[in-house]
Structure 1
Amino acid sequence: MKLKEKSTDLWVYDLLKEAELNLDAQGSNIKEIDEALKTASKRGTGKVGFPEYVGIVKDFIIVIEDKSSISMHEKRTEEEILAEDITSICDYAVNGALFYGKHLIKNTSYTKVIAIGVSGNEKKHRISPIFVNDRMDYYELPEIETFISFSEDNIYEYYTKEILNENTDFEKETKEILRDAALLHEDLRNYGSIQDKDKPLIVSGILLALREIEYGNFSIDMLTGDSKKTDGQKIYDAIKDNLNRANVSPDVKRDKLLNQFSVIKDTTKINQIDTNLGKTPNRHYTEFLYKSIFQSIRFHQSGEDYLGRFYGEFMSYSGGDGQSLGIILTPRHITELFCDLLDLKHTDKIMEKKIKEWIHKPTLYITQSA
């Protein structure tokens, strides 16, 4: 049995290493936890007791008990709650982990413990986390396959989602993106009667124009509803400036690209002041995109992801998946795979290359935003 227990300990160690968790085995280098373990005997003798692994991640204590056999994973009472008698605590992984979790809450200044019972081996196993709070209440959490959720980068998101049962920042953000995409789609239709094929051009064109704000060539306040130089013309001019600044070449390509945005200046309805809005629809769209999208993609840590999720959702309103409009949005997992395979860095430049070896094969483009 001891040999099997040792094998399980080593497998658990590998899981910890994979998740980049530095927990101590059979003791603790943290003075406060070490002192608490001096009275942590599972038999209730008041003597020393050592879980398999214990340590700190952020402001959480992580404590792990493991057993070699899945049959020794957990013991429950007739009421289907975890048994807390001495035999169950000593013989079962989850029960032992819960014991140590409660003991550490009671005897340290920490207020959050994640106690994890592990049984089995790499091929067949169970991993059951339990959250223990400073009132000694505990909550059994869904079983997991790895410890990656408890890494420094992930533990707060795990705590928010699985323990507090709140939406994570990512989920809140996604809901806002879905809402914004739907609202903009409706406004383009209601205030401009814009055709589906032109909606992506208005959105992308305005986002390009907004990039000229920092260079002093464009501002939302410029959009006054002037009938001589329309708001659309001002946006169009800013788009032209931005394409020039980006060194889009050759000239024929830049001019062809710019011409696609003519709908912004040539559509009369969106350049006239709407009585309900009190401004032109073009200004309304620009204000909306600046507040909801542009600031997020400019100041957000993963702005490209934010824009990608928005644009993907927006396209679902504006033409299915975009293919009917000639727009192909490569799935995120595909772009990530090829970027990993190519080992791309932020300093790399990606160039389109037409593959002509097979006449009947489609051209392949691999692109990545810098």
Structure 2
Amino acid sequence: MAKLQSVEPNIADLANGWLKSYHLDYKLEQNPLNSEIDKALNDYFSKNGGVGGNRPDVKLLLKDKQGNTYPILIEYKGYKDNLVKFNTDGIVDNQTSKNQPNFKNINHYAVNGAVHYANALLHHTSYTDIIAIGMTGFIDDTGTLQPDIGVYYVSKSNLGAGQKVAEYSDFSFLAEQNFDSFIARVNALQLSPEELDNLKNKKEREIDACLVKLNNDIYQNEKGLGENDRVYLVAASIIATIGIPDKVKPLEKGELTSSSEVGYTDGDIIINKIKSFLHYKELPETKKSLIIRTLQNTLMTDNINKVINGESQLKRIFTKIVDDLGIYYKIGLATDFTGKLFNEMYSWLGFTQDKLNDVVLTPSYVATLLVKLARVNKDSYVWDFATGSAGLLVAAMNEMLIDAKNSITSPEALRSKEIRIKAEQLLGLELLSSVYMLAILNMILMGDGSSNILNKNSLTDFDGKYGFGQTDKHFPANAFVLNPPYSAQGNGMVFVEKALSMMNSGYAAIIIQGSAGSGKAKEINQKILKKHTLIASIKMPIDLFIGKSSVQTYIYVFKVGEAHHRDEMVKFIDFSNDGYTRTNRKKASNNLKDTDHAKERYQEVIDLVRLGKNKLNILTESEYFENTINPESGADWNQLIPVDTKPTLADFKKTVADYLAWEVSNLLKKQGGDDGLGK
């Protein structure tokens, strides 16, 4: 049987003829478009997995009436079924189950290839909105060419995944007279919250896989670097390549020349770019100096800048970081990025279990749970007394910004509120200087550098006032979230008592080692209950921090400013089954899987704590009950669901039946033995 012949030349001829008829200035595969785009396509990994060689069949730049420029990338194929390949979620399938590029699909399908090119631009250029077009077709029985077109919008807003715009039978939507209408349709595209959540989860898994690969690479191949050096190199590289529109141009790999000249080493170039970035971010001088001083200690060392075979170690590492991670922070993913980085980098270290417990960071979905249990909204003032990488504050900021966006209809008022949230409504304290640096860098990566992250001992050095800006004014905290170091007094309850004593109203949610509620922090708990109410006690899964800690944790939720009444009913929730299955395999693409309605279970816990038993749905009555505690005890916070041990008539009947069955069985065995049949 003769092999079916590709009609790609026919498709290209037809489509390019359309573009020519619209008088568009398009460029074919080998022709340059502009230096930024051409370089991005060359720097990005190719459709075959190598470096460079990304050549769309057609590329062009078009402007709408607002003056916004859109790159248009077009890929042609020549077989009937080669237009697009989706995954099970209906997303263009360019990633394998192991969160690696799916080169087979990128190579074989027109839309997949075009979306791949678009991601190269998201990764390596300042363009954030790209149109990816795939076109294929076949010749029907009458000899007529039948084209098939896929038009997708690839942007920061859809995290590079791409959204189908509409059905089109030709390229006339690109013609000057039609382009504004087309862009209006693009701008009207919206992802549902569920779709966006799925995409974010997918990207977070990709980040995890990328960080594992990157850390392994640096750990195995780049000698002479301590764990903090690795963290700081990633942070410095990211800050240097973020850029600020119209003010600070992102640092490109080619600008690192690996020179030995004093003042022009790769370290000098990176630190100067960071200084420029921080200057325009208008950070407080003390915070800016600390960041530069800390990063400088790593970036300016002789060994990392030594030129061997024309390249410094710093340039080599910088290139790896930008190539592996660039896409994730450039699309503005709202995640605890440095927290993930921190956990991955520190997973290689030989900490003792006790020491490790103190640096374990809160998983993002648990951070979001704590924030919601603390009833954070756009008007909250949130603080954290052991902030780590600022993951809890990142979660709080995300929740506040979402609430603001959903409730403020004036664009100007919304912008003003977003600035106020970041600058005035978040405060974190972290004693360890290296971890403190991560917290600051995390907030910078989240688009903010002005929040009040303080390098202080929250128990002895903090007076409740802002650290930057309004330094003579007390921070009016009404929401408290915490994952304390468990080695502190009372497993960390000492932080809770201190924070709540400085608040007048609001709510608090903390995750802590379970023994804090069963006797280890008895005196501190008694003190807390004299001024505040325990609303809920939630037993979390034992493997919540798998691979990092194996302690049993609980979440305690408080209402601030009201003494706990002896008859107050506390909600006890056994959340041992949270719907997630966890593994601890270093090479696994996803160590966290939703196997039993995890998202719904987490929402149900939030509803149960706030609204009570009538919200029971997935959780059972054996996992939720209400009871009182003794405010003068401080050791009865981890109550178990009561089990009714009183026998019923059915229990009695079953016991009798079991006994009779046993008697009959014995009798038959004896009879069998007497007949010689039992041997």
- Decide: shared fold, TM above 0.5: no
**Greater RCO (CA < 8 Å, at least 6 residues apart):** 1
Q: TM-score, normalized by length of structure 1?
A: 0.44
Q: Quick check: which one's strand share is greater?
A: 2
